[in-house]
Chain A
Amino acid sequence: MTPATTRGAAISVAASLVLLMTITGFLTRAYYTTRSSRAEALYQEGMRLAGAGHSAQAADRFRAALVYEHNSEKYRLALARSLMDLGRWDEAETHLSELSEDDPTNGPINLMLARIAGQAHRDSDAVLYYQRAIYGYWPEHPIENRTSARFELIGIFKRDGQPRQVLAELLDLAAEVPEDDAATRRRIATLLLTNGSPDHAAEIYRAVLANDRSDGAAEKGLGDALFDESDFVGARNAYRAASRDGLEDPTIEDRLKECNTVLQLDPTLVRLSANERFDRARQLLDLTSAAARQCTALPADTDAAAQKLMQEKPSRRRDGDTVEMITLAQQVWKLRHDACAQPAAPDEALTAVMAKIQKQMAATQ
């Protein structure tokens, strides 16, 4: 082969190479542009359809968008959402698991996986995903989304009957929520209250009220919490404050009435005269005995002791009798509790007072 032919071939090849590279470059650019624009158009159409409630068509568009852009997290997430809307949990989970493999700390993905696992009653998986969602990263509104995820996690613990976990999560949440987010803090306090932690609930309501003294909902919540803590005076004050601040809650009046009834019955209140305390104790014994007799016969010795105390002359009142009556009322109440089913319409005032007495006795023992 002569140098001239070699040179000629080399020039031809070089020119062809440049030409082919240029064509390929242009084609590649056009390819990526077209691919992205077609995928985005399908995604937007899918979002519009999803917004209009046509989840099946939306899923179809998102799926088509993914054919163009396999690796788009945005499209796959949208598809998973549509599939969840359609109740196609397994398919949605497959997409989300795939996304989670690539991005295990992604908050939204883990939250959706948690919901799917929760829906399928795979609660241990759900808890794991919720925790990943809570501690993962959120591209938008991280605090709100983490809070929402934690509330859902609390729901799972509650469903599983794990009160300790519920309280632990609520207390963690209470520590994380910003002070100015009164609505969320009230929600946390309400949950603490319904999950048997009125003291923590009262603390949060007080903190909310420290920021805004006229927060009627917080005052009402505080009233409920104090009532559960057997601080009936405090509860009445809180209800009154809520009513004064114009909270439109039809239950407030009932609660106030209940407070007053309890306060009229409670023999353990401070600043009662000895006579008043004796009368209240006797009334309490009378009420508890009557409640017990409705479903069970009292043991002979208990019944005799109760009758004897009830027939004491007021002139012979002694502090010892008052205490004895309260103790006996407590025993009768316990007897009734063990022997009888919960009545359809319990005497709430009596129940509240007896609960307070029980707490005080437990504290002194």
Chain B
Amino acid sequence: MTPPKLKNPLALSEQQRFLLLAILIGVFAGLLVVCFHITIDFISWYSLGALSGKYRFGRLIAPTLGALAATFLATRVFPAARGSGVNQTKAALYISDGVVPTSTVAGKFLACSIAIGSGNSLGPEDPALQMGAGVASLLGRMFRLGRKNMRMIAPVGAAAGIAAAFNTPITGVLFVMEEVVASWTAGVVGSIVLSAVSAVVVIRWFLGNDPLFRVPVFELTHPSELVVYALMGVAGGLLSALFIKLIEVLRARLEKFPRRTELVQALCGGFFVGLVGLWLPEVMGAGYDAIDFAMHDRFPWNLLLLLAAAKLLVTLLCFSTGIPGGMFAPALFIGAMLGGGLGGLAHHFWPFPISSAGAYVLVGMGTFFSGVFRAPMTSIFMVFEVSGSYSIILPVMIANTIAYFISRKLHPEPFFTMLAHQEGVDLPSAEEYRSTELLRVEDAMQPVPSGADLARAPRIYPDVPLDSALRLLGQHEMLRVASRANPTEAIGILTLEDIHRAYGIAENYF
């Protein structure tokens, strides 16, 4: 007879393993993002020579060849790596039970580092997010996580990837919670936070504590400036809606061309970037250096507006022609330049004292981001986290919220949802999820009929979602709706029929 097995006191529950795994995912994602950054910079140095005048001709050749090579890799060698990282992470969450093909990581790494390093107007954050999700998925599979945890592993990795790419842990966490995971539990939030923090620790360990930008001191010079910031939000909202629309239209048109033209399209996109880069090298690559310069008032307002327009155009072409890379950095660039340009313009015409254009660059950065990605909280906290200035919160909140609502009004379909639809996938939109009206008991209950025997009916509160009520009705015919102020007093009843009726009435909501 074998002795009974004693439970190992050090054995971890699946939830505990999941949390530990989140740290590990953060470390791996952080390391990958460090290598990714370095590779992009190396490619940029050797192809563009730090964009100095000495290598002017390289600005035309590098993005053209880079676009060709990167698109070849993404379409022919690593086809799984095509498309938006956010949508692929959502697909892992909602469709493929957390599985992100490992080849995606290699594909994104190689293709995007070539595309961005050679000067194409795209950013490294979305690929970093997807690489994080890919690494997380791989680790989840290695440790054979259960289906429920496995589904959540990709967002955990995505948070690590984006936090490492921006070097901002709060932004990483918020973006994933706001855009990828529409509903979350304490365990999921804990894992996302752990992975984001550990990724940022790794990034800072290897690349130092230097922030993304050297942010100037911000202060609100005059209360009337808030009006200028609001106008900036309006401009950001209008431009972001236009940008989404243009991408939608151009992508749809280009998709109609035969598949064999993909490389030619990318070649044209890269060539156009190079052509613009000959005169405006600031628009090439992610463009963080240019944002940094703009923050320190290095560009006049008219050049800032020109850069915003040029960047919008080249990003539109790069993205629509299928060159692999992300949209976050270009969105920040366009918003920053637009904000700086409007701030500079206000300097000439605004009748009250006004802050330097650098402050407007900083605030403007979030407006376009908020309008395009429909992640207002992320955009607010990102600017706050990058600037480290509490006084910036008020203008950022005003500008970003206005941009968000205007963009949403003019182009109701969010950017990532639009991309998913064009790719033939129907993914839930976090924004739509948040906007959906949740039906509660109070929406379906009816008054207590006279003489009703409620003694055996279980109690439920009016603010409880109908889904929860439905579970209870599996075992009981009727529920007693009670006020939280006086739980013994019945204020109504709820039956299965009431719920059916409520959902029937609410059909038009969905």
Residues of A within 8 A of B (CB): 1, 5-6, 9, 12-13, 16-17, 20-21, 23-25, 27-28, 31, 34-35, 38, 42, 57, 60-61, 63-65, 67-68, 70-71, 91, 94, 97-98, 101
Contact = CB atoms under 8 A, between A and B. Distances in A.
B142 interface: yes
12 contacts: A1-B144, A5-B144, A17-B27, A17-B28, A28-B206, A34-B45, A38-B45, A60-B53, A64-B50, A67-B289, A68-B50, A97-B296
Interface of B: 24, 27-28, 31-32, 34-35, 38-39, 41-42, 45, 49-54, 139, 142-144, 206-207, 210, 214, 216-217, 289, 292, 296-298
B217 A101 contact: yes
A136 to B, nearest CB: 20
Given A12-B142, A20-B35, A68-B50, 18 more contacts: A1-B144, A13-B24, A13-B139, A13-B142, A17-B27, A21-B31, A24-B35, A25-B206, A28-B206, A28-B207, A34-B42, A42-B52, A64-B54, A65-B50, A70-B214, A70-B292, A94-B298, A97-B296
A13 B41 CA distance: 28
Contacts of B139: 13
Nearest to B216: A101
B31 A20 contact: yes
Majority DSSP secondary structure for residues of A touching B = helix
Given A70-B214, A70-B292, A94-B297, A27 B51 contact: no
A96 to B, nearest CB: 11
Contacts of A31: 38, 41-42
B143 A1 contact: yes
A324 B437 CA distance: 111
Contact of A20 (B28, B53, B144, B207): B28
A60 B52 contact: yes
A60 B54 contact: yes
A65 B143 CA distance: 46
Nearest to A102: B214
Contact of B50 (A16, A42, A94): A42
A322 to B, nearest CB: 70
Contacts of B35: 20, 23-24, 27
- List the 7 closest A-B pairs by CB distance, nearest first: A64-B52, A67-B50, A9-B142, A64-B50, A1-B144, A31-B38, A60-B53
Contacts of A13: 24, 139, 142
A12 B24 CA distance: 13
A27 B185 CA distance: 38
A95 to B, nearest CB: 8
A61 B52 contact: yes
Contacts of A98: 214, 296
A141 B206 CA distance: 38
Nearest to A59: B53
A25 B206 CA distance: 7
Given A5-B144, A94-B297, A101-B216, A27 B52 contact: no
A13 B51 CA distance: 40
B386 to A, nearest CB: 15
Nearest to A63: B52
User: Which of A28, A57, A60 is packed against the most chain B CB atoms within 10 Å?
Assistant: A28
Contacts of A35: 41, 45
Nearest to B207: A28
